Chain A
């Protein structure tokens, strides 16, 4: 299969790329800029795309690199350190009602990119662990570990807003740090 045209790429992937960019950056304006930048780079490198069914992974990688390039100098952002956090015990889990997208974004914004990106890819684009590992160029074990910690963090963070007073108060992922 040959490489697809620009219109085909935009029609097939612009929406998911925008959502990915929005969840990465937390800003509609940044998301749009990132998608523009991604397609701008894709057009100049279209000859590198050998197979159309690799387009999604390829475009997501370009977008993430563009995003990392932008935030490289923004390391001052305060993020929640999860490196020392293990998975929360199962007993702490509770059924989670509908999650507010804004709360989710706020929680994602507080995460370091190395945890945020796997979570977004896993939940939003339904990438497999293997796809995520390939996308981020990480060992699959590292991806599993980061996803487990990221999920635990999200559970604790979002369950904190759980209106159900009967639910057990979950321990925050960063408690005790």
Chain B
């Protein structure tokens, strides 16, 4: 180790010198009077500055003040957090309350006239659908006047089996009573055998269409035959 490196290492703190550097430095100082004198001066100066640097009287009340302030800050932070949570909860409650109040206050008002209109429109829609379907089957769109069925009891239209043939049928139901209206072309199905054959819970009626020749409505009633006539809406069934 030469003198330049020795003095460079001496300017560093002991913590910054590696163990190997320290051994080499000690060896150099033991044989170099000039560097040893430099080291003494440098060390003495550093010690004097370090001693003066640390000579700061710390106020005896400092620790207590710091603890007091720290706990006050913690309490303040805790209170602030609590207040924020409480304010948030109150805000949420208020918003929910206002929303529910608004929903309750402005909930839709049931209008009986509108309800009646909507219901009738739905029945008309069903009747209209059946009418269109019958036209599609090349059958008269309207039932005969004797079969003035109320479409509030309508449940189905389509093809149904009658005597082994698929026959257009419209089904109505009112409670336990059911009416199956088969629309039959006499040219395709002989209905003679059905005439006059009634059971204990079922009855068959035949209604020829007044204008469409050869079209007969075979109506199979089950459990009664009075529940399907049109009545004003709201009147007892």
Residues of A contacting B1 in the complex (Cβ-Cβ under 8 angstroms): none
Residues of A contacting B13 in the complex (Cβ-Cβ under 8 angstroms): 122, 126, 128-129
> Known: A10-B67, A15-B58, A98-B48. Is A43-B53 also a contact (CB below 8 A)?
no
Residues of A contacting B97 in the complex (Cβ-Cβ under 8 angstroms): none
| B50 at interface by CB-CB < 8 Å | yes
| A113 at interface by CB-CB < 8 Å | no
Residues of A contacting B48 in the complex (Cβ-Cβ under 8 angstroms): 96-99
Please tell me which one of the listed residues A15, A32, A94, A101 contacts residue B55 in the complex, with CB atoms under 8 A apart.
A101
Cα(A44)–Cα(B69), bound, Å: 13
B141: min CB distance to chain A, Å: 81
| B145 at interface by CB-CB < 8 Å | no
> Known: A43-B74, A93-B38. Is A98-B66 also a contact (CB below 8 A)?
no
Looking at A34-42, A48-56, A63-71, A76-84, the stretch in contact with chain B turns out to be A34-42
Residues of A contacting B15 in the complex (Cβ-Cβ under 8 angstroms): 126, 128-129
- B170-208 interface code vs A (CB 8 A; 1 in, 0 out): 000000000000000000000000000000000000000
Please tell me which one of the listed residues A35, A44, A128, A155 contacts residue B45 in the complex, with CB atoms under 8 A apart.
A155
Cα(A10)–Cα(B58), bound, Å: 13
Cα(A45)–Cα(B56), bound, Å: 28
A19 touches B58 (CB 8 A): yes
Cα(A150)–Cα(B50), bound, Å: 14
| B233 at interface by CB-CB < 8 Å | no
| A18 at interface by CB-CB < 8 Å | yes
Cα(A15)–Cα(B46), bound, Å: 22
Residues of A contacting B131 in the complex (Cβ-Cβ under 8 angstroms): none
B49 touches A99 (CB 8 A): yes
B40 touches A95 (CB 8 A): yes
> Known: A43-B70, A90-B38, A95-B44. Is A124-B11 also a contact (CB below 8 A)?
no
Give the size of the chain B interface in residues (CB under 8 angstroms).
35
Residues of A contacting B77 in the complex (Cβ-Cβ under 8 angstroms): 43-44
- B36-62 interface code vs A (CB 8 A; 1 in, 0 out): 001011101110111111111011001
A10 touches B53 (CB 8 A): no
Please tell me which one of the listed residues A11, A90, A95, A154 contacts residue B63 in the complex, with CB atoms under 8 A apart.
A11
Please tell me which one of the listed residues A23, A32, A124, A147 contacts residue B59 in the complex, with CB atoms under 8 A apart.
A32
Name the residue of chain B whose CB is nearest to the CB of A128. Answer: B15
> Known: A36-B66, A98-B52. Is A93-B74 also a contact (CB below 8 A)?
no
| B12 at interface by CB-CB < 8 Å | yes
B53 touches A148 (CB 8 A): no
| A111 at interface by CB-CB < 8 Å | no
> Known: A18-B56, A22-B56, A43-B77. Is A123-B62 also a contact (CB below 8 A)?
no
Residues of B contacting A122 in the complex (Cβ-Cβ under 8 angstroms): 13
Residues of B contacting A39 in the complex (Cβ-Cβ under 8 angstroms): 66, 69-70
| B209 at interface by CB-CB < 8 Å | no
B69 touches A124 (CB 8 A): no
Please tell me which one of the listed residues B12, B38, B53, B70 contacts residue A124 in the complex, with CB atoms under 8 A apart.
B53
> Known: A96-B44, A128-B16, A129-B12. Is A35-B52 also a contact (CB below 8 A)?
no
| B73 at interface by CB-CB < 8 Å | yes
A124 touches B58 (CB 8 A): no
Cα(A155)–Cα(B42), bound, Å: 10
Cα(A99)–Cα(B69), bound, Å: 35
Cα(A129)–Cα(B15), bound, Å: 8
| A130 at interface by CB-CB < 8 Å | yes
| A138 at interface by CB-CB < 8 Å | no
| A173 at interface by CB-CB < 8 Å | no
Sorted nearest first, the 8 A-B pairs with minimum C-beta distance are A128-B15, A99-B52, A124-B53, A101-B55, A19-B56, A123-B53, A104-B52, A96-B45
A-B contact pairs, 13 of them (CB 8 A): A14-B62, A18-B62, A19-B54, A23-B56, A35-B62, A35-B66, A90-B7, A95-B41, A96-B48, A101-B53, A122-B13, A151-B45, A155-B45
